[in-house]
Amino acid sequence: MTMQQLLNIELPVIQAPMAGVQGSDLAIAVSNAGGLGSLPCAMLSPDALRAELEKIRRGTDRPFNVNFFCHTPPEPDPQADADWQALLRPYYTELAIDPSTIASGAGRTPFNAEALEVLKEFEPAVVSFHFGLPAPELLDGVRSWGAKILSSATTLEEALWLQSQGVDGVIAQGLEAGGHRGIFLTRDMTTQMGTFALTRQLVAALNLPVIAAGGIADAAGVQAAMALGAAGVQVGTAYLLCPEASTSAIHREVLASEAARHTALTNLFSGGPARGVVNRLMRELGPVNALSPAFPLATAAIAPLRAAAEAQGSGDFSPLWAGQNTRGCKPVAAAQLTRELASALD
Ligand SMILES: Cc1cc2nc3c(=O)[nH]c(=O)nc-3n(C[C@H](O)[C@H](O)[C@H](O)COP(=O)(O)O)c2cc1C
């Protein structure tokens, strides 16, 4: 089955959900252009989720995707928090931040019954997950209105597990991809592989549409993914400079600069491995630091550093999420980019 048939869309292009850098505006623009727009919901309260879904309902009558994280929240660990803050202390001093004012808390909530209740009011056509799947009763709730369910896999084992749970399609998230890795069955980063290798193996092993993601940023990349047997693509980084995205001015500036040629996986900003442009914090602490607490608990201690630095026009402490291929980042309307991405297909 083609992805267009599965998702009832014209073009085999999913705009990747990207928490923190976009909301309903980007999703509406892409869905109206014939792709599948996505709303990232990992950082939305139930009220904010409802408000965004109302905007999408007013903005398009086409299918769209809502995306949730479904990690298991870690137990609070005061010692780990204290060790993490101790490592960051020189930066608090430099930026005149009083560490006793640092809020605790996760910042990202996994999919839950409250979010499901909001979704039931809107019955979105597609729901995608990152970090596996929610509990079976929650997943059944999503299935109740016939939503198609997608989730990211970073290994063949994850893809086979998702297939066994009855998902409708699997997103093959290669190592090139920007943002958080959807890895969920292991913590062993040596298992992670590039989009070419992963897509090909998933296509061979699954009876489901495989959606290639990671490093795809132009029409030739889309064509190549389809030649590998992908039913469609999920593209994130290339949309970051679109006017409909809410990417910060600092993030946009970095993406348009030569600095964007160097990305790395880092656990400094949330605790989980994610790809972003290498910046000062990543250089000085190492992109992967053993003292960073479990996902998503690293975020709270970084937040005031990020805010203070950004107020001075600096991205030294910001997560500058981006994939390895930032060549496709262009300040063009999302509809134009969506059509361009699909332009080499018959
Ligand atoms: C800024 C940014 C934020 C992201 N946030 C999410 C998210 O909230 N949920 C999700 O499933 N994937 C997220 N991703 C990962 C994408 O789904 C996708 O795997 C990735 O963008 C594909 O690689 P590319 O960026 O090279 O196109 C994010 C990616 C980026 C670049």
17: domain CATH number is 3.20.20.70
Give residue 204's domain range: 1-71+108-247+329-346
β-pair type (210-213, 263-266): unpaired
- 43 and 129 co-located in one domain: yes
Same domain, 49 and 91: no
Given a contact cutoff of 8 angstroms between Cβ atoms, the answer to whether 125 and 8 are in contact is yes
Count structural domains, the chain: 2
So what's the pLDDT on residue 101? Answer: 85
CA of 234 from ligand 1 middle (Å) equals 9
Query: Once rounded to an integer, what is the mean pLDDT over residues 5-28?
Result: 97
Q: What is the pLDDT of residue 109?
A: 87
For residues 133 and 141, give the distance between their C-alpha atoms in angstroms, rounded to a whole number.
13
| Model pTM score | 0.98
Does the bond joining 296 to the residue before it have cis omega, within 30 degrees of 0?
A: yes
The answer to whether position 252 is within a domain reads no
Does pLDDT of 106 surpass 80?
A: no
pLDDT digits (tens, 9 = 90+) for 189-215: 999 999 999 999 999 999 999 999 999
Mean pLDDT of 236-258: 98
Computed over every residue of the chain, the mean pLDDT equals 96
Same domain, yes or no: 172 and 299: no
Are 114 and 63 in a shared domain?
A: yes
Q: Is 290 a member of any domain?
A: yes
Residue 221: partners with Cβ closer than 8 Å, 6 or more residues away: 215, 233, 325, 328
Q: Look at the alpha carbons of 199, 232, 332, 266 in this order and tell me if their dihedral is positive or negative.
A: negative
Q: Is the pLDDT of residue 100 over 90?
A: no
DSSP per-residue string spanning 51-108: HHHHHHHHH-SS-EEEEEE-PPPPPP-HHHHHHHHHHHHHHHHHTT--GGG---S-S-
Ligand 1 touching residue 235 (CB < 6 A):
yes
pLDDT of 157-197, one tens digit each?
999 999 999 999 999 999 999 999 999 999 999 999 999 99
- Whether the predicted pLDDT of 61 surpasses 90: yes
Q: At what angle do helices 299-311 and 78-94 cross, to 10 degrees?
A: 10
CB 323 less than 6 A from any atom of ligand 1 = yes
Residues 21 and 120 in one domain: yes
Pair 107, 69: CB distance under 8 Å: no
Rounded distance between C-alpha atoms, residue 332 and residue 329, angstroms: 9
How far apart CA 41 and CA 69 sit, in angstroms, is: 8
Decide: 31 in ligand 1 pocket, CB within 6 A.
Answer: no
